[in-house]
Structure 1
Amino acid sequence: MKVRIQFTYQTPMGANTSFQSEEMKALDALLLVDDMEKTGRVKQLTFIDTQDIAWSQKELKRYFEEIEEEPHDVYIYFDGGFDQQRKKSGLGCVIYYQQNGKSFRIRKNATVGELDSNNEAEYAALHFALKELESLDAQHLQITVRGDSQVVINQLKGEWPCYEKTLSGWAGRIETKLTYQSIEPQYELIPRKNNNEADRLATQALENIEISSKKEV
């Protein structure tokens, strides 16, 4: 979860003004506020999440206490590769998450047929990743989705139109799955070099090398 901090700063002489921070991770915001409150000059403090919902400091701390045993702080990396000659696609995904004070990483890939383009393989890879996330029973979350496909990321962010019927269908399936799991995604376009893990998994799938692992990191 990411939030902005809104607060009023008041001097000992009574002068005051309001401030709003940049968006940051909620846990970092809580640490900053704990330090700021030591001055005794911070008033009317509120946290605003990405859905413009206001949280008190007490409510936000209680939220993190409640979710500690559930998967949270989830980051998904995805990549898809398409072999035109064989009409096969390789799908790869890497999922990082926190649970019970520990960090975990899931790496998984798959080979599929019946896809017609690299863009479709990229969409299928993200859908594959969300199915894996569903197996963790992860619901009611904010997640970060990272990929190097401009088409997928920009279309799902609503910044590019989606005219192709096939790709529109994949986008609809992804949005339906997110809604069903009550998950709010934040999409981030990253350079290909920062997506090496998912890219390698997609390549290995096309080489008929199956990967499925979960480990503490």
Structure 2
Amino acid sequence: MNVRIEFTYKTKKGLQINATSEEIKAEEAILIAEDMERTGRVGQLTCISTHDENVWTIKELKKILAGIQTDPHNVTVYFDGGFEIEKKKSGLGCVIYYEQNNKKYRLRKNALVEQLNTNNEAEYAALYLALQELELLGVHHLPVSIVGDSQVVINQLEGEWPCVEEELNRWADRIEDKMEQLGLVAEYRSVSRKKNREADQLASQALNQVEIISTIELEEKA
């Protein structure tokens, strides 16, 4: 969760300003705010969520973060879809990284489907598969980082490119409806295929009829 700190500051001579910080992680905001308060020169201080503009005191934000720790959070989704035109089959792959109870996890999931007609549809379907997995995990009302190598999907969902194909329009609507239902705010990021290797491999395995679904705890790097 990211927030902005809003505060008033008084100098020794009584001059006062109102200021707002840049967007920072909530955990960092608490440390900075507590340090500022120790100076004795900070008046009213609140933290504002960049997700939904909720306003909290430091004490309230601490309670919220304590509750969040038990739910999946700090979520990053990688997705990829592949399409075999000869067989009219699509392979979907998604990888979800998240934290819960002070531990880090990776979920991998793929699927083989036959109802699609283009590679772009497969890319959209892979992202929708990931959103369904987020719903099963209980991820809701959080910012989510969504990463893929499909320029079409990323740019259309960000509104940078027009979505003129009727079927892709329907997929975009499904994605946005599911996002709204779960209360998610997406931050989209386009990467090269090389940097999307895990999701790409899952999509390829699905096309080869190798089903993957797994969740593992990630070890902290030394």
Q: Give the AA of the match of 2:216.
A: K
* CA positional deviation for 1:119: 1.2
Q: Give the AA of the match of 1:140.
A: H
Unaligned runs of 5+ in 1: none
Is structure 2 residue 8 aligned with structure 1 residue 11?
no
In structure 1, how many angstroms separate the alpha carbons of the residues matched to 2:34 and 2:196? 35
Q: Give the AA of the match of 1:97.
A: Y
The residue number in structure 2 matching 1:20 is 20
What is the RMSD computed on CA atoms of the aligned residues? 1.8
The residue number in structure 1 matching 2:37 is 37
Using the size of structure 2 for normalisation, the TM-score is 0.89
In structure 1, how many angstroms separate the alpha carbons of the residues matched to 2:155 and 2:31? 33
Aligned residues, how many? 217
* CA positional deviation for 1:16: 2.9
The residue number in structure 2 matching 1:117 is 118
Q: Which moved more, 1:170-179 or 1:20-29?
A: 20-29
In structure 1, how many angstroms separate the alpha carbons of the residues matched to 2:195 and 2:47? 31
In structure 1, how many angstroms separate the alpha carbons of the residues matched to 2:37 and 2:196? 39
* CA positional deviation for 1:83: 1.7
Where does 1:31-110 land on structure 2 (aligned, <5 Å)? 31-50=31-50, 51-110=52-111
In structure 2, how many angstroms separate the alpha carbons of the residues matched to 1:136 and 1:129? 11
The residue number in structure 2 matching 1:208 is 209
* CA positional deviation for 1:91: 0.8
* CA positional deviation for 1:147: 1.6
* CA positional deviation for 1:123: 0.4
In structure 1, how many angstroms separate the alpha carbons of the residues matched to 2:140 and 2:164? 30
In structure 2, how many angstroms separate the alpha carbons of the residues matched to 1:20 and 1:207? 53
In structure 2, how many angstroms separate the alpha carbons of the residues matched to 1:59 and 1:155? 37
Q: Give the AA of the match of 1:149.
A: S
Where does 1:154-193 land on structure 2 (aligned, <5 Å)? 154-193=155-194
Unaligned runs of 5+ in 2: none
Say if 1:214 and 1:32 are closer, same or farther in 2 by CA, change over 3 A. Answer: same
Say if 1:101 and 1:117 are closer, same or farther in 2 by CA, change over 3 A. Answer: same
Q: Give the AA of the match of 1:182.
A: G
In structure 1, how many angstroms separate the alpha carbons of the residues matched to 2:13 and 2:167? 64
Say if 1:191 and 1:54 are closer, same or farther in 2 by CA, change over 3 A. Answer: farther
Q: Give the AA of the match of 1:126.
A: L
In structure 2, how many angstroms separate the alpha carbons of the residues matched to 1:103 and 1:2? 19
* CA positional deviation for 1:48: 2.1
* CA positional deviation for 1:177: 1.6
Using the size of structure 1 for normalisation, the TM-score is 0.91
The residue number in structure 2 matching 1:2 is 2
In structure 1, how many angstroms separate the alpha carbons of the residues matched to 2:135 and 2:116? 23
In structure 2, how many angstroms separate the alpha carbons of the residues matched to 1:24 and 1:161? 32
In structure 2, how many angstroms separate the alpha carbons of the residues matched to 1:86 and 1:46? 57
Is structure 2 residue 150 aligned with structure 1 residue 149?
yes
In structure 2, how many angstroms separate the alpha carbons of the residues matched to 1:129 and 1:62? 29
Q: 1:134 is paired with a residue of what secondary structure?
A: helix
Q: Which moved more, 1:23-32 or 1:70-79?
A: 23-32
Q: 1:135 is paired with a residue of what secondary structure?
A: helix
Q: Which moved more, 1:195-204 or 1:180-189?
A: 180-189
Q: 2:7 is paired with a residue of what secondary structure?
A: strand
* CA positional deviation for 1:168: 0.8
* CA positional deviation for 1:53: 2.9
